[in-house]
């Protein structure tokens, strides 16, 4: 089993997916929960405890902006491979051009990362 992820987002609301995520995490990995857990409970598995994983944010709370800020502050200070998940990267200022290129077929990425600075 490849335990290659140091960070992950839970947004599926599926406990089976959440369990698989915990198995794939590196020791001391960080998980940001974006799913609300209202479809089915998201259960911490033995892998969560064995790998000493951390949950550093959740959208199922009253202060979403603060939780998101905590997570993204951490990401800015520590190197991650998250950007490698995206096929195409652009800035907010270039977003209209990126949409024009999508519409014309000049580019055809599946995942786009928009950098806001």
Taking the C-alpha atoms of residue 49 and residue 34, their distance in angstroms, rounded to an integer, is 20
Q: Encoding tokens for residue 80? A: 């991650």
Stated pTM of the model: 0.53
8 Å CB contact between 33 and 60 = yes
Taking the C-alpha atoms of residue 114 and residue 92, their distance in angstroms, rounded to an integer, is 6
pLDDT tens profile 11-54: 888 899 999 999 999 999 999 887 766 778 889 999 999 999 99
Taking the C-alpha atoms of residue 24 and residue 8, their distance in angstroms, rounded to an integer, is 10
pLDDT tens profile 47-61: 999 999 998 866 656
């Amino acid at each position: 089993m490849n335990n290659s992820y140091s960070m992950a987002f839970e947004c599926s609301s599926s406990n089976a997916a959440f369990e698989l995520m915990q198995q794939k995490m590196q020791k001391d990995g960080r998980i940001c929960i974006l799913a609300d857990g209202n479809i089915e409970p998201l259960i911490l598995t033995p892998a969560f405890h064995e790998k000493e994983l951390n949950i550093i944010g959740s959208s199922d709370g009253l202060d979403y902006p603060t939780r998101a800020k905590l997570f993204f502050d951490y990401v800015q200070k520590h190197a991650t491979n998250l950007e490698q998940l995206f096929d195409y990267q652009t800035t907010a200022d270039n977003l209209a051009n990126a949409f024009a290129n999508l519409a014309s077929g000049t580019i055809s990425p599946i995942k786009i990362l928009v950098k806001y600075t």
